């Protein structure tokens, strides 16, 4: 596990009904990689409203309760839009390992958003592992991160 993730804090995962199956799979992947995982729901395929789950996870990441978050819905769009409304949260919707690497290296992303209806299980695992292994480069990117925080 990279030094940037606080090993004393769990990883939070959450989804709506459109991301439930992928979230469940990634939860197992995270556990096998040695992470403590806290599942914030949903707990089944019944229709639910994604903002409730994204907000709960984002609030926990912003408060420092979790070392990082993983949000999954059908496309990842709604989850990323909701999570990014919270100060200190930098949620990145990634559809490739390259995007995950850049989200960490240049944007210091602390929440990974994925779309179950957009990517397959194998690709989602690759994206997750790349995100987890990524390190923020700092330097010129630090000032850019500071500039995106709301006033």
Token pair 């459109």: residue? 18
Can you give the residue ranges of every domain in the chain?
A: 11-148
pLDDT at position 73: 98
Record the pTM. Answer: 0.94
Q: Smallest Cα–Cα separation from 89: which of 28, 14, 2?
A: 14
Which pLDDT score, from 0 to 100, does residue 7 have? 76
> Per the CATH hierarchy, to which homologous superfamily does domain 11-148 belong?
Sugar-phosphate isomerase, RpiB/LacA/LacB (3.40.1400.10)
User: What confidence tier does 139 reach under pLDDT thresholds 50, 70, 90?
Assistant: confident
Give the contacts of 82 (CB within 8 A, at least 6 positions apart): 50, 51, 54, 55, 58
Q: Are 8 and 71 in contact (CB under 8 A)?
A: no
Active-site positions?
Answer: 73, 106
How does pLDDT run across 39-76, given as a tens digit for each residue? 999 999 999 999 999 999 999 999 999 999 999 999 99
């Amino acid at each position: 596990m990279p030094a940037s993730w606080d090993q004393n804090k769990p990883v939070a995962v959450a989804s709506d009904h459109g991301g439930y199956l992928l979230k469940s799979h990634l939860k197992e992947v995270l556990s096998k990689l040695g992470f403590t995982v806290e599942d914030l729901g949903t707990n089944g395929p019944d229709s639910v409203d994604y903002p409730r789950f994204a907000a709960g996870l984002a609030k926990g990441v912003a408060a420092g309760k979790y070392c990082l978050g993983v949000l999954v819905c059908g496309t990842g769009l709604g989850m990323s839009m909701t999570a990014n409304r919270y100060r200190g949260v930098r949620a990145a919707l990634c559809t490739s390992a390259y995007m995950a690497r850049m989200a960490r290296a240049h944007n210091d992303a602390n929440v990974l958003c994925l779309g179950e209806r957009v990517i397959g299980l194998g690709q989602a695992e690759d994206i997750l592992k790349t995100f987890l292994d990524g390190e923020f480069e700092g330097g010129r990117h630090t000032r850019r991160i500071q500039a995106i925080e709301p006033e």
